[in-house]
Amino acid sequence: MKMKKLLSISAAVLFFGLQGVQAQNCDAYEIKLNQLVQKKGYTEAYPVLQEALEKCPGKKVNYYIFGETILDELAQNAASDAERQKYAQEIVNLLQKRIAAFPNDKPAYWRGEIINYELANNLKPKKEIYEEYKNLFNASENAEKLSTSTVLNYFTTALELLNEGELQFDEALKVYFKTKEVTEKNIELRSAEYGKLAEKLDSLQTVDPNKKLTKAEEQTMANAQAAKDSFLEIQDSMEGILSQYTTCDNIAPMYVKEFEAKKEDMDWIISSYQELASKECYDTPIMDALDKQYAYLWKLKNPQATETASPQAKAGAGPGSAYAEGARAFSRKDYKTAISKFQDALNDASGSKKGDIAYYIAVSYSKTGNLGNAVNWAKKAASYKPGYGAPYELIASIFGSNANSCGSSTYQKLTAYWVAADFANKACAVDSRSCGRAKKMASSYNAHGPSLEMSFQQGKKKGDRVSVSCFGGASTVVR
């Protein structure tokens, strides 16, 4: 019995000893690969990578990070196309192993990168690669996690196949709408990420101008801004290529043509409505038809329901027919009706879409001359959608264009220009898309503000806070 116990203890010691040795070896591979990548010794690193992957599979994510760099460099410097494709295929295999070893580490992103390598290195026929992109975009619940390269490559591959006669225009249009949706989601996500930290920084510096975010927060802001700018470039590129083909007059007939054959298909009704809504085609009869058909189908499936539904609201992607009615009223300058319908639409909206609706309500109020409500709704829009500069631009223009309504004295009226400049600067701070206009606005408004001499006569010095009571009130700093 003692002998068995001793043997068991010895086996355990041997097992854990081997485990420790293996861990040390796996660490050694990681260190060696890092050193070789740092000195760009990719040829020397190649056999080390193969050995690490064979002996320590799934142990270190850095194997895959270093491995992609090593293989990509070897592919780019290959002596022949055959050699380049060999290394490219090894990258594909490497990334597939990465997904298997780390299934929770952005799998959709890495699947996209695999397809990108296949495309760039002609590892598969273009149509087959297109189908892989299509499956990825249609199946992934995390499409917003895809890289800018994956989004752009899917779009351009569809266009190339269209030009080669391998794809019908209506299918290419579906790709456009899908990549447009993913791009907009990414822009919203990065804008929100950046905007929350920008708001935090603004709050800190209101108390103490020298306050800063943490280094980690500053890096997060920088990364979010860079990612957003990349997706904005893609968005501009896609719109520039297809804008003339994706007008309501061009795309609405396609949905009319398909309506009878597909009107019982709930998914088709929803996606068609969403696609037309994304181009603001609310005045087209087909949108009314889609809205009514959805309500009909929904009622069939929910006979006990007391309320009807709309394809956009119940799809969870927007406000539905109330928003459509508001948009129509807004376009015909019936702002009173627009406000009412947009407010109804808020009940169905969620996420950043609430910010878009609140902004339209703010603009509608400004058009009717109800500037206090306009400012109030613009602030709501900014809170619903962090990283959205347009509401702050609107507030800036209201204070700047109506400074004479702010107070009884000349000093109070001129102080409103400083408030306007503050909101213009905030628009730029939270949203790079606003910067071009906002910087010009801020410069102009600051030029109209009180002079230091005028502030001195009011008993104020540089850095003191002053307030205005118009449009809900605001405070600013003497400058």
Instruction: Note the pLDDT tens digit of each residue in 342-385.
Output: 999 998 787 788 999 999 999 999 999 999 999 999 999 999 99
Rounded to the nearest integer, the mean pLDDT of the chain is 89
Count of domains for the chain: 1
In a domain, 438, yes or no: yes
CB 324 within 8 A of CB 294: no
The per-type count for the chain, helices as H runs and strands as E runs, is 21, 2
**Domain membership of residue 464 as a residue range:** 401-479
Q: Please spell the DSSP secondary structure of 79-140, one letter per residue.
A: SSHHHHHHHHHHHHHHHHHHHHH-TTS-HHHHHHHHHHHHHHTT-S-HHHHHHHHHHHHHH-
Q: Which of 103, 108, 195, 93 is nearest to 144 (CA)?
A: 108
Per-residue burial over 127-153, b if 16 or more Cβ lie within 10 Å, else e, is eebbebbbebbeebeebbbbbbbbbbb
- Which tokens in the block code for residue 160? 């190339």
**What does the angle CA 249 – CA 253 – CA 258 come to, to the nearest 5 degrees?**
155
In a domain, 452, yes or no: yes
Q: How far apart are CA 67 and CA 209, in angstroms?
A: 45
In a domain, 391, yes or no: no
- Which tokens in the block code for residue 295? 């309500």
Q: Report, as an integer, the average pLDDT of 275-294.
A: 88
SS3 assignment, position 466 = strand
Start-to-end CA distance of the chain, whole Å, equals 89
In a domain, 99, yes or no: no
Q: How far apart are CA 268 and CA 315, in angstroms?
A: 11
Q: Which of 286, 291, 274, 290 is nearest to 180 (CA)?
A: 274
Confidence category of residue 318, pLDDT binned at 50, 70, 90:
very low
Confidence category of residue 19, pLDDT binned at 50, 70, 90:
very low
Q: Report, as an integer, the average pLDDT of 189-209.
A: 86
pLDDT at 303: 77
CB 375 within 8 A of CB 344: no
Confidence category of residue 13, pLDDT binned at 50, 70, 90:
very low
- Which tokens in the block code for residue 206? 């209101």
In a domain, 321, yes or no: no
In a domain, 468, yes or no: yes
Task: Kindly report the length of the chain.
Answer: 479
User: pLDDT by residue (tens digit) across 403-445?
Assistant: 999 988 999 999 999 999 999 999 998 888 899 999 999 999 9
Give the rounded percent of residues in the chain with a pLDDT score beyond 90.
65
Q: How far apart are CA 152 and CA 180, in angstroms?
A: 10
For residue 312, pLDDT over 60 is answered with no
Q: How far apart are CA 393 and CA 366, in angstroms?
A: 13
Q: How far apart are CA 63 and CA 316, in angstroms?
A: 40
Residue in the structure block whose two tokens are 């001499």: 453
Query: Which of 3-17, 210-224, 238-252, 344-358 has the weakest average pLDDT?
Result: 3-17
Q: Which residues have a Cβ under 8 Å from the Cβ of 372 and sit 6 or more positions away?
A: 471, 472
In a domain, 413, yes or no: yes
In a domain, 442, yes or no: yes
